[in-house]
Amino acid sequence: MGQEPKTLQEAVIYFSDPANCREYLVARRWPSGVICPRCGSDKVLFLAKYSRWQCSAKHDARQFTAKTGTIMEDSPIGLDKWLTAMWLIVNCKNGISSYEIHRALGITQKSAWFLDHRIRLALHQGSSENLLSGECEADETFIGGKARNMHKGKRAERITGTGTKDKTAVMGILQRGGKVRTSVVANRKKHALQSEVRKHVEAGSALYTDALLSYEGLASDYAHQVIDQAIQYVDGRVHTNGLENFWSLLKRSINGTYVSVEPFHLFRYLDEQAYRYNNRK
């Protein structure tokens, strides 16, 4: 398997060689040998002149590259830029904006935006993952612009009420010592929050939440304990500080790097931050 660059300088140097890019992808995509992404045959011939493979089976589009069937397939941008952008996105703790990638890689901002969202698509956590178990924390927060940072005209357009009316509700569930799962939810009502808990947490697990009334009723399926944050934040093992840590990282990336995130794109940024958190070690 190809080496893993540890620093940005190593990544730029390593991925500047097309052969390195190809070997790096092949080692991770086809560890047991290259197979045709269209028919699954392992009888393929490498065409060095064109840096692609040709399948020996008789079917349409027999030739393919390491990009075929991936998020990079229909992009004319080279692997050197794709792989460096991936390295930047998964390694920058507070995220990296499309304008930064545009300046760093010498591509247009629109191309950088395209790369960003394709990579976030690849970071999406699949629905087939195992349920969380053991000790789990559940919490919710709101994401949205701060009125004091907006221009007067933009503030009048975006802020139509007080409190959380114009913000987007986000829920997180964390398995202590394990992974975090995040999702955009319609609201903080009982049905919305409890359906997410039951979708992601194995019955019988220990579940810790704050005193929001929407969590009432979960004790029938979980060892549910509540921490009233108006009184205290920690009571032995009962707290949601793990998720509070994750929310601080998420909001630092959104407020400090991305600045303004449209609600219909928010789930992509959640996937990005959750991937970084889940693979931080």
pLDDT tens for each residue of 184-239: 999 999 999 999 999 999 999 999 999 999 999 999 999 999 999 999 999 999 99
- Shared domain check, 204 and 103: no
Are 88 and 167 in a shared domain? no
d(CA 226, CA 55): 59
- Domain residue limits at 13: 8-122
CA distance 161 to 195: 28
Asked whether residue 130 is assigned to any structural domain, the reply reads no
Beta-bridged to residue 149, according to DSSP, are: none
The mean predicted confidence, pLDDT, of the chain is: 90
Q: Are residues 142 and 164 in the same domain?
A: yes
Give residue 127's pLDDT. Answer: 60
Please tell me the distance from the alpha carbon of residue 1 to that of residue 253, in angstroms, as a whole number.
Answer: 32
Are residues 143 and 260 located together in one domain of the fold?
yes
Whether the predicted pLDDT of 92 surpasses 60 = yes
Residue 262 placed within a domain: yes
State whether 154 and 98 are in the same domain.
Answer: no
pTM to 2 decimals? 0.85
d(CA 169, CA 167): 7
pLDDT value of residue 260: 80
Q: pLDDT band for position 26 (50/70/90)?
A: very high
**Is the pLDDT assigned to residue 46 strictly greater than 50?**
yes
Q: Check whether residue 98 and residue 202 sit in a common domain.
A: no
Residue 67 included in any domain: yes
Output the pLDDT for position 167. Answer: 87
**pLDDT tops 60 at residue 2:** no
CA dihedral 264, 266, 269, 270 (to 10 degrees): -130
Each residue of 100-157: pLDDT tens digit?
A: 999 999 999 999 999 999 999 999 877 657 899 999 999 999 997 665 565 666 655 5
For residue 212, give the nearest of 243, 237, 189 by alpha carbon: 189
pLDDT range class, residue 1, cuts 50, 70, 90? very low
> Do residue 82 and residue 146 come from a single domain?
no
The residues near 189 (Cβ < 8 Å, ≥ 6 apart) are 214
Confidence of residue 21 (pLDDT cuts 50, 70, 90): very high
In a shared domain, residues 274 and 194: yes
Token pair belonging to 10: 């190593």
Specify if 155 maps to a domain.
yes
Same domain, 104 and 167: no
Q: Is residue 112 one of the residues assigned to a domain?
A: yes
Q: How far out from the chain centre does Cα 277 lie?
A: 9
Helix, strand or coil, per DSSP, at residue 204:
coil
> Which pLDDT score, from 0 to 100, does residue 227 have?
96
* Cβ density class 208-229: b for 16+ within 10 Å, e for less: bbbeeebbeebeebbebbbbee
Task: Assess whether 178 and 255 both reside in one domain.
Answer: yes
Amino acid at 155: R
Sign of CA dihedral 81, 87, 89, 93: negative
pLDDT level of residue 162 (50, 70, 90 thresholds) = low
pLDDT of res. 125: 77
User: Are 55 and 116 part of one and the same domain?
Assistant: yes
The CATH number covering residue 146 comes to 3.30.420.10
Number of domains in the chain: 2
Residue 151 lies in a domain: yes
Domain termination residue (choose one: 86, 101, 122):
122
Whether 129 is in a domain gets the answer no
Write the CB contacts of 123 (distance below 8 Å, at least 6 apart in sequence).
Answer: 89, 90, 271, 272, 274, 275
Compute the Cα dihedral for 146, 151, 156, 157 and give only its sign.
Answer: negative
Backbone dihedral angles phi then psi of residue 176, each to the nearest 5 degrees? -60, 130
Mean pLDDT of 57-75: 94
Judge whether 15 and 83 are in contact, CB under 8 Å. yes
In sequence order, which residues have a C-beta less than 8 Å from that of residue 216 and are 6 or more positions away?
Answer: 190
C-alpha triplet 85, 90, 91: angle, nearest 5°? 95
pLDDT of amino acid 194:
96
Decide if 111 contacts 98 (C-beta within 8 A).
Answer: no
Residue 139: what are its φ and ψ, rounded to 5°? Answer: -160, 165
Instruction: Decide which of 64, 88, 122 is a domain's last residue.
Output: 122
Q: Which of the listed residues 101, 122, 143 is the one where a domain comes to its end?
A: 122
Question: In terms of domains, do 211 and 266 share one?
Answer: yes
Is 2 a domain residue?
A: no
- Assign 165 a pLDDT band (cuts: 50, 70, 90): low
